[in-house]
């Protein structure tokens, strides 16, 4: 009997990303428009329903869960949710629960997250300049995020920073960010902008190929390829001068699909089998149709059998619109 979490291309899905809310306290310019219409609250699955969904995936072989959003720590009751999920860490069914956060609420939750068994967190940070931070997030405060980072460190949580490389905005801050992050014992990953969802600006203007950043960094730093993997799509180098790790996520310049082990669940129970494709499976109906998990399990198996070979992202001058209509905050990156 084939493993029902293995797709037609032989990739076994072991990693589930869950966007627990589409809402966020920031409005990063590459991610959202200034005026966003969020889902009405009644459309959201309850946290109990999300737990049932996650548990179905865990029982089918998912070993890692990443909570994301929107801003995951903005969802009311989120810590109770993490606490409940942590039973799968205790039972050994799950290897890891982690999250991607903008850091604004980390000072409040870091200790409790550590207590629930969260060992690793990704924090998104695009600049160390307070004014530019306010500009790119439209409503964030750098100081608050820094306090969050400190609190997570004190709680013993390993941190990785995600920085979106943006032409004309932070391209000259990449090396200083790298030196600072590594000096503080944090890995850094550079991300290219992906054409997802309508934003107010033009993505062509923001797009900075990470391959070019790498070339530039190599002029002053020694970057050694290493086989390090975190279960995500980044490829890593070790920076000889700092001893730290630097990751590159290059969805547009490099095809990372052949080793993709991930699927993404939204807060309405829609499963996206690929970040860069519109095809999706509704898990809310089978979830709500019965108290048992038979229908749900069948729907998950069917969805995995439709996981596409790869994405169709492209940013070019003739292609002004987003490749996929939904915003990153729906599936959480």
Q: Shortest gap between Cβ of 201 and ligand SAM (angstroms)?
A: 11
Say if CB 165 and CB 192 are below 8 A apart: yes
Residue 199 binds to ligand SF4 (criterion: CB under 6 A):
no
- Binding letters toward ligand SF4, positions 9-48, x by CB under 6 A: ---------------x-xxx--xx----------------
Say if CB 136 and CB 176 are below 8 A apart: no
Residue 27 binds what, of ligand SF4, ligand SAM, none (CB under 5 to 8 Å, by partner type)?
ligand SF4
Of the candidate spans 68-76, 150-158, 218-226, 306-314, the one that interacts with ligand SAM by CB under 6 A turns out to be: 68-76
Total residues interacting with ligand SAM, rule: CB under 6 A:
20
Q: Shortest gap between Cβ of 143 and ligand SF4 (angstroms)?
A: 16
Contact pick of 21, 170, 193, 235 for ligand SAM (by CB under 6 A):
193
Residue 235 binds to ligand SF4 (criterion: CB under 6 A):
no
CB of 233 or CB of 333, closer to ligand SAM: 333
Residue 125 binds to ligand SF4 (criterion: CB under 6 A):
no
Residue 69 binds to ligand SF4 (criterion: CB under 6 A):
yes
User: How close are the terminal C-alpha atoms of the chain, in Å?
Assistant: 32
CB of 69 or CB of 244, closer to ligand SAM: 69
Residue 165 binds to ligand SAM (criterion: CB under 6 A):
no
Question: Closest Cα to residue 268, out of 287, 293, 296, 295?
Answer: 287
Which residues 115-144 are close enough to bind ligand SAM by CB under 6 A? 124
Residue 332 binds to ligand SAM (criterion: CB under 6 A):
yes
Residue 70 binds to ligand SF4 (criterion: CB under 6 A):
yes
* Radius of gyration, alpha carbons of the chain: 19
Which residues 73-102 are close enough to bind ligand SAM by CB under 6 A? 100-102
Q: Which residues form the interface with ligand SF4 (CB under 6 A)?
A: 24, 26-28, 31-32, 69-71, 102, 124, 329
Contact residues toward ligand SAM (CB under 6 A) are 24, 30-31, 68-69, 71, 100-102, 124, 162, 164, 191, 193-194, 196, 328-329, 332-333
């Amino acid at each position: 009997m084939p493993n029902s979490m293995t797709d037609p291309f032989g990739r076994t899905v072991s990693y589930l990303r869950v966007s627990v809310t589409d809402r966020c306290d920031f409005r990063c310019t590459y991610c959202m428009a200034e005026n966003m219409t969020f889902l009405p609250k009644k459309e959201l699955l309850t946290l109990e329903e999300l737990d049932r969904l996650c548990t179905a995936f865990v029982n089918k072989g998912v070993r890692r869960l990443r909570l994301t959003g929107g801003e995951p720590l903005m969802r009311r009751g989120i810590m109770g949710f993490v606490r409940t999920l942590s039973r799968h860490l205790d039972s050994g069914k799950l290897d890891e629960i982690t999250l991607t956060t903008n850091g604004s609420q980390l000072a409040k939750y870091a200790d409790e997250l550590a207590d629930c068994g969260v060992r690793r967190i990704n924090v998104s940070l695009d600049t160390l300049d307070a004014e530019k931070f306010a500009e790119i997030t439209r409503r964030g405060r750098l100081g608050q995020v820094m306090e969050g980072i400190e609190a997570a460190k004190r709680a013993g949580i390993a941190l990785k920073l995600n920085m979106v490389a943006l032409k004309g905005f932070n391209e000259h801050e990449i090396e200083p960010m790298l030196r600072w992050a590594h000096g503080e014992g944090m890995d850094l990953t550079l991300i290219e902008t992906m054409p997802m969802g309508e934003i107010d600006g033009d993505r062509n203007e923001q797009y900075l190929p990470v391959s070019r950043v790498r070339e530039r960094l190599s002029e002053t730093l020694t970057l050694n390829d290493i086989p390090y993997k975190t279960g995500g799509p980044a490829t890593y180098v070790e920076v000889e001068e700092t001893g730290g790790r630097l990751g590159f996520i290059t969805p547009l310049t490099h095809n990372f699909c052949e080793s993709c082990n991930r699927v993404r669940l939204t807060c309405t129970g829609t499963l996206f089998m690929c970040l860069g494709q519109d095809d999706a499976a509704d898990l809310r109906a089978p979830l709500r149709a019965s108290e048992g998990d038979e229908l749900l399990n069948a729907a998950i198996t069917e969805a995995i059998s439709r996981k596409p070979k790869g994405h169709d992202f492209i940013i070019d001058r003739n292609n002004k619109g987003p490749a996929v209509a939904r915003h990153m905050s729906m599936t959480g990156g």
